[in-house]
Chains A and B, each alone.
Chain A
Amino acid sequence: DTAVSQTPKYLVTQMGNDKSIKCEQNLGHDTMYWYKQDSKKFLKIMFSYNNKELIINETVPNRFSPKSPDKAHLNLHINSLELGDSAVYFCASSQTGISYGYTFGSGTRLTVV
């Protein structure tokens, strides 16, 4: 069983489209995250949810909207996709108070053309 699973693995879409990425974890963690890794390989946090509540919202365009229906799921919806949104998006989860317990999903490679 995959601990943190993301779908889709690859996503190629045109500028201006709206797309969603889904993430699910079966580790019983209470916190989930979205990270973005750009072409220069920098990994930066975008959002964090703890028990369905948004706790970290970095400077991310409001075209990006996370949704957490329950603590095992965190989805990312992106409106009006732009070329600069092309990146690898990683979902991760952890348990509050245990920083070393991060588990990352395998990533979604988004290409906007």
Chain B
Amino acid sequence: RKEVEQDPGPFNVPEGATVAFNCTYSNSASQSFFWYRQDCRKEPKLLMSVYSSGNEDGRFTAQLNRASQYISLLIRDSKLSDSATYLCVVVKGGGTSYGKLTFGQGTILTVHP
């Protein structure tokens, strides 16, 4: 089983739609969680951190469920510029694993007019 699993999509949605991505992780020792965004042929960039209490940044809402080892990202009112690959990222705490990002394979989102 992969450490971090995502539905690769692709998700094709019209502008203005709401879209949700899910991610599961296998290591219960994981301590930090993030969503990154990667545009075509570009480097990954941090979109937002994910907390158990849930956090929101404009049109983006991220949620963590530690009991189910499940992370989600909700995008409301999709824009054309949201088209990208969304990467679920997990960090294990402690020892030499600290700081090592483990990536899911990414979910491709295409927003069309």
Interface size class of B (residues with CB under 8 A): 20 to 34
Interface residues of B in 14-63 (CB under 8 A from A): 32, 34, 42-46, 49
Are A105 and B43 closer than 8 Å at their CB atoms? yes
Cβ-defined contact, B42 with A100, below 8 A: no
Rounded to whole angstroms, the CA-CA distance of A79 and B20 in the bound complex is 43
Cβ-defined partner of B100 (8 Å) among A45, A100, A104: A45
Q: Mark A83-110, 1 if CB is under 8 A from B, else 0.
A: 0000000100010110110101111000
Q: How far is the CA of A44 from the CA of B106 in the complex (A)?
A: 12
- Chain A: interface secondary structure? strand
B residues within 8 A CB of A48? Answer: 99-100
Q: Shortest beta-carbon distance, A14 to chain B, in Å?
A: 23
Give every chain A residue within 8 A of B103 (Cβ-Cβ).
Answer: 42-44
- Distance in Å from the Cβ of B101 to the closest Cβ of chain A? 7
B interface, CB within 8 angstroms of A: 32, 34, 42-46, 49, 85, 87, 91, 96-103, 105-106
Could you write out 8 A-B pairs with CB less than 8 Å apart?
Answer: A31-B99, A40-B105, A41-B85, A41-B106, A43-B87, A50-B99, A97-B98, A99-B32
